[in-house]
């Protein structure tokens, strides 16, 4: 399965690209009880991966999730992005969806949205060796399903806001076992916020 992540600081704006929009509409997907449909229609752009309510799992806490050790922006909870850095794990050791030859590192970071949230986007600003890897929950939670994380990898992901509290599963990949990564997070109320997250280390420069 997967593991870990680390520290943060705040700032303001920028953009970045990635792969091709990936919505995989032809796949047969199970519905997610308690999550319901998207609150707002989502616009897609080149390089953006979009995960919709059918790709989420219902939050077990009912309020958007535990905030301990997490980054919280606009009641959106990103687990393990809090101030205490934690080591990344070799991706091939903790993910069945990457080949054994993959030499990158992975940090698990579920994203938890409160009920009736608007869409939330995360973009990688820097470094170049960092990508995002959130996937549909029914793939993540079922070890019998054979899929490739590469189909969902990008540097820009958007999560739909749903009628109920929803959790999107996945995290961050990096070519380095220890690095400071800058992300731009966009929420409905606050707009764009820059954060610096310590991947595999506990101290990152807030001025990045």
In a domain, 119, yes or no: yes
pTM: 0.76
In a domain, 111, yes or no: yes
Rounded to whole angstroms, the Cα distance separating 7 from 84 reads: 5
Q: pLDDT tier at 122 (50, 70, 90 boundaries)?
A: very high
- Beta-bridge partners for 180: 198
In a domain, 158, yes or no: yes
Q: Which helix (H) or strand (E) holds 171?
A: strand 166-174
Supply the pLDDT for residue 37. Answer: 45
Is it the case that residue 101 has pLDDT exceeding 90? Answer: yes
Question: If you average pLDDT over every residue of the chain, what do you get?
Answer: 78
Is it the case that residue 5 has pLDDT exceeding 50? Answer: no
Is it the case that residue 162 has pLDDT exceeding 60? Answer: yes
180-197 average pLDDT score: 93
Token readout for 152 is 């969902």
pLDDT higher for 169 or 26? 169
Return the minimum-mean-pLDDT range out of 9-13, 132-136, 172-176, 185-189.
9-13
Token readout for 100 is 């054994």
In a domain, 92, yes or no: yes
Domain tally, the chain: 1
Per residue in 60-86, pLDDT (tens digit) is 654 444 677 789 998 999 998 887 666
Q: pLDDT tier at 205 (50, 70, 90 boundaries)?
A: low
In 3D space, the residue among 57, 176, 59 whose CA is nearest the CA of residue 107 turns out to be 176
Is it the case that residue 34 has pLDDT exceeding 60? Answer: no
Do the strands 191-199 and 166-174 form a parallel or antiparallel pair, or are they unpaired? unpaired
In a domain, 206, yes or no: no
In a domain, 169, yes or no: yes
In a domain, 164, yes or no: yes
Domain that holds residue 164: 49-199
Is it the case that residue 13 has pLDDT exceeding 70? Answer: no
In a domain, 143, yes or no: yes
Question: What are the DSSP calls for 26-37, one per residue?
Answer: TS-----TTT-S
Supply the pLDDT for residue 49. Answer: 92
User: Considering Cα of 32, then 35, then 39, then 42, what sign does the dihedral take?
Assistant: negative
Supply the pLDDT for residue 15. Answer: 35
């Amino acid at each position: 399965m997967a593991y870990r992540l680390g520290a943060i600081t705040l700032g303001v704006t920028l953009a970045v690209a990635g792969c091709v929009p990936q919505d995989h509409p032809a796949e047969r997907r199970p519905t997610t009880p308690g999550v319901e449909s998207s609150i707002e229609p989502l616009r897609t752009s080149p390089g953006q991966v979009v995960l919709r309510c059918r790709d989420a799992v219902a939050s077990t806490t009912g309020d958007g999730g535990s905030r301990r050790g997490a980054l919280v922006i606009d009641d959106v909870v990103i687990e393990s992005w809090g101030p205490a850095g934690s080591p990344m794990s070799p991706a091939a050791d903790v993910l069945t969806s990457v080949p054994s030859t993959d030499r990158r590192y992975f940090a698990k970071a579920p994203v938890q949205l409160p009920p009736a949230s608007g869409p939330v986007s995360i973009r990688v600003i820097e470094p170049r060796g960092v990508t995002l890897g959130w996937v549909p929950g029914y793939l993540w939670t079922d070890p019998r399903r054979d899929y490739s994380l590469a189909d969902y990898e990008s540097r820009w992901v958007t999560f739909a806001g749903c009628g109920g509290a929803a959790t999107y599963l996945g995290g961050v990949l990096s070519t380095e076992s220890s690095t400071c990564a800058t992300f731009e997070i966009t929420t409905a109320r606050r707009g764009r916020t820059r954060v610096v997250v310590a991947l595999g280390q506990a101290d990152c420069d807030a001025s990045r």
